[in-house]
Amino acid sequence: MATTPVKRNVNKPVANGTDTASIVSKAFTQDAEWTDKDEFLDVVYWLRQILGVVIGLIWGLIPLKGILGLGLFFIINVAIVYIYYNSFQRVDEEEYGGASEILKEGLMTSFSSFLVSWIILYSSLHTDS
């Protein structure tokens, strides 16, 4: 019995009617027009999640440990998000509740992703078990 291939809609509409491909393209476009406040904050959130895992993997490979690793994570994470929204996207931070609202968007979730990836990689590579 032959089956027909299932076509998947990659550009699936999200709740507000835009598709994910347009959000991703706006995320990589300098000075993009963000009509929906939540779209931009979602981009910041997912940028932080990627940063958390990548920094955790790097710290696990180096091997970096202790308060230095934690402090550097926060400095790098906040600095990259600040540069992204202030210099690359040039959004008006007051539209989003101020700089602190943008800078804390997804920070603790990113921190937990960072810790998990850092601890697992560091433990598997640099401890004698």
Which residues span the domain enclosing 75? 45-123
Q: Is residue 12 part of a domain?
A: no
Q: Note the pLDDT tens digit of each residue in 58-95.
A: 999 999 989 999 999 999 999 999 999 999 999 999 99
The total number of structural domains in the chain stands at: 1
Q: Note the pLDDT tens digit of each residue in 95-109.
A: 999 999 999 999 999
Residue 17 corresponds to which amino acid? G
Q: Is residue 71 part of a domain?
A: yes
Q: Is residue 61 part of a domain?
A: yes
CA distance 84 to 86: 6
CA distance 63 to 49: 21
CA distance 27 to 85: 10
Q: Is residue 5 part of a domain?
A: no
Q: Is residue 114 part of a domain?
A: yes
**Alpha-carbon Rg of the chain, whole angstroms?**
18
Q: Is residue 8 part of a domain?
A: no
